[in-house]
Amino acid sequence: MDVWKPTGIELEACLRSRIGPLSLWLRHLGDEMLMAVERVPEADAVDEAAPLAPVGEAAPETLTWARWVVGADVNVVQLVPAMPDRPVVVRPESPVRIPTGHEALLFVSIPLWVKVTVGESRALALCEEPTVVISGTWFGDPTSGELCYAVRTRARRTLRDSEVRPHRAICPVRIRNTAPEQLDIQRLCVHVEHLRTYDADTQPWTNEVDVTFEGEERPSRVDYAKGPPALGNVGDMLSDARTPLTKGLLRKTLVSFRSFAGM
Amino acid sequence: MSLLAQVDPSEWLTPERLAAALRIAVLLVVGFPLLFVLAAITGRSLKKRLTPQVAMLVRKGILYLGGTLLMVTVLYQMGFRLTALLGAAGIAGLAIGIASQTSVSNIICGLFLIGEKPFAVGDVIKVNDTVGIVLSIDLLSLKLRTFDNQFVRIPNETLVKTPVTNITRFPIRRFDIKLGVAYKEDIARVSEVLREVATANPYCLDEPEPLIMFTAFGDSALELLFAVWFAKADFLKLRTSIMREIKERFDAEGIEIPFPHRTIYTGSVTDPFPVRVVKDEGKGRPAE
């Protein structure tokens, strides 16, 4: 996708990029880089990812500009997709049930963060902006757990072209039920800080997450694929994980109906 | 002949006395500095593994105990009979103990608090009516800084005897808002509006889900409890934003928050309330 490619920015230039609900304005004045953000509700956003390009009209006066002193010789800017800075709790719109001995592949769409970098080879990262402001949630009981973002999703089993949203990354999650009981998935906590993003035709993808559910009493085993997913027309890596992992995790990842009802 | 001239140094400076003097000098010159170094090293290494309070306790224990042992040894080398000294110390100890009951109690309570760890430095706690941030947990007392920047010292004995609320112990908290709406309002609609306010507020957590409970038929209003969860660091931002958002949304939806009021009847529902106008004689107009 062109939106993730480096773009030249000359002195006094003003560029704008639109990625779903998020619009980024960039200006290069003297030795400073200025940036402003505009957002619309996600439901009203156009599903497009327009790369940074000069703007014909003047920037709205209501914008609040942030300034960075980067030097006058900086003339390249690049937008880089990133995963949210906290784990994401995915809540399927309708519960998904996996009988014992079975597995299911779910496609979860996760809102992207956009990192603004300047200089050759993304030498300097200025800031990050979420494309969608997601509400916070708590995964765990009130005395211990972790602060996450909440994402509602259909938890699709297949992908359809009509649901392309370029400001979200598709995360394939494979869930295996090796426990003797059925698994009713009410919520799924995805530690997106361990995910990479990969380029694709219409929207980024992440590497696959493999979850093995071994019963309510034991934490689930979570593995993160090292390379791009085999599904979809996926290309080069766009960004590395915030926290790269070298081995699998045992984590409380799934909340099934029984444990949720007991909370 | 002067007194000093009568003393023969060769009789006084015997080899045994010289040896004792050397031992005393070594104890004082080497022993005390070594003791301080040992206490400092132990304290620093324990700080990494244990709480700062325990490390401080151990360091002070080494200093006081080691210092006492060194002094007793020096006195013994100087030839003092320690049994009499210990006897006197025992009697003095009894007198001091009776006089310092409160201080000793505070020290003992401090040890219990350090072991039990009901709170740590940086926590926000409430003791009786005092709310503040814990600055330090010391042997005799706890030091707090209130939110209006006052310094409060609370004896450890008070902390052990009274309930202490640790406001920031858990990572998330619930903010309870008591509301009243007019009797004419539709509870289901009010609940839906409150749910939307919680969803739109960035500091309200989606889960645990906000609680909306119809609690009572009040004298002047239908009473509701609206409780939302938040991360403990967002308390001030949530509190200031959500109260304002509720009011704005209620105004936009035309939901009335009634004042307390009373309806007065004169004995019959249908007859008008009798009013008598009395003229104010001094100013020539009806009294108000």
Average pLDDT estimate for B239-268: 87
pLDDT in tens, A24-80: 999 998 889 999 999 988 888 888 888 988 887 778 888 899 999 988 888 899 999
Closest-approach residue (CA) in chain B for A145: B171
Residue with tokens 């360091």: B59
- What is the widest separation between alpha-carbon atoms in chain B? 126
| Candidate CATH numbers 2.30.30.60, 3.40.50.2300, 2.60.120.380, 1.10.1060.10; the one for domain B119-166 | 2.30.30.60
Q: How far apart are CA A78 and CA A51, in angstroms?
A: 10
Average pLDDT estimate for B95-101: 74
Q: Is B202 on the interface with A (CB under 8 A)?
A: yes
Structure confidence at residue A260 as a pLDDT band (50, 70, 90): very low
pLDDT in tens, A120-173: 876 789 999 999 998 899 998 888 889 999 987 777 777 765 567 889 999 999
Q: Is A60 on the interface with B (CB under 8 A)?
A: no
Q: Is A259 on the interface with B (CB under 8 A)?
A: no
* Interface touch B170/A143, C-beta < 8 Å: yes
Q: Which residues of B touch A133 (CB under 8 A)?
A: 202
Q: Which residue has the higher pLDDT, A168 or A250?
A: A168
Structure confidence at residue A253 as a pLDDT band (50, 70, 90): low
Q: Which residues of A touch B172 (CB under 8 A)?
A: 138, 142, 145, 147
Q: Which residues of A touch B206 (CB under 8 A)?
A: 89, 135-137, 150
CB A201 within 8 A of CB A49: no
Q: How far apart are CA A129 and CA A167, in angstroms?
A: 12
* Interface touch B205/A135, C-beta < 8 Å: yes
Is 80 exceeded by the pLDDT of residue A247? no
Is 60 exceeded by the pLDDT of residue B87? yes
For residue A108, what are the contacts with CB-CB under 8 A and spacing of at least 6?
Answer: A90, A151, A153, A155, A170, A171, A172, A173, A188, A190
Closest-approach residue (CA) in chain B for A138: B207
**Which run of H or E residues covers position A259?**
helix A257-261
| Candidate CATH numbers 3.40.50.920, 3.90.1150.10, 3.40.50.300, 3.30.70.100; the one for domain B171-288 | 3.30.70.100
Q: What is the pLDDT of residue A261?
A: 35
Average pLDDT estimate for A207-235: 85
* Interface touch B205/A138, C-beta < 8 Å: yes
Q: For B90, phi and psi rounded to 5 degrees? A: -60, -45
Question: Which of A89, A133, A142 faces B208 most closely, judged by CB atoms?
Answer: A142
Is 90 exceeded by the pLDDT of residue B168? yes
Question: Which of B170, B172, B207 faces A150 most closely, judged by CB atoms?
Answer: B207
Q: What is the pLDDT of residue A66?
A: 94
pLDDT in tens, A70-121: 888 888 999 999 999 999 998 887 888 999 999 999 888 899 999 999 988 7
Is 70 exceeded by the pLDDT of residue B283? no
- Domain locations in chain B? 13-99, 119-166, 171-288
From A33-47, B96-110, B216-230, the region with the lowest mean pLDDT: B96-110
Q: What is the pLDDT of residue B272?
A: 67
Tell me the count of A-B CB pairs closer than 8 A.
39
Which of B169, B173, B195, B206 is best to mutate for the A interface (most A CBs within 10 A)? B206
Residue with tokens 């938040």: B230
Q: Which amino acid is at B176?
A: D
What is chain A's Cα-based Rg?
20
* Interface touch A135/B170, C-beta < 8 Å: no
What is the nearest CA distance from B209 to chain A, expressed in angstroms? 9
* Interface touch A137/B205, C-beta < 8 Å: yes
pLDDT mean across residues, chain B: 85
* Interface touch B205/A145, C-beta < 8 Å: no
Task: Note whether ipTM > 0.85 here.
Answer: no
Q: What is the pLDDT of residue B104?
A: 82
Is 60 exceeded by the pLDDT of residue B288? no
* Interface touch A89/B207, C-beta < 8 Å: yes
Residue A103 C-beta-side C-alpha neighbours within 13 Å: 13
Structure confidence at residue A246 as a pLDDT band (50, 70, 90): low
* Interface touch B206/A136, C-beta < 8 Å: yes
Chain A residues 109-168 with a CB less than 8 Å from chain B: 133, 135-139, 142-145, 147, 150
Closest-approach residue (CA) in chain A for B203: A136
What is the nearest CA distance from B230 to chain A, expressed in angstroms? 8
Average pLDDT estimate for B24-29: 87
pLDDT mean across residues, chain A: 85
Q: Which residue has the higher pLDDT, B53 or A16?
A: A16
Task: Decide: pTM greater than 0.90.
Answer: no
Q: What is the pLDDT of residue A117?
A: 92
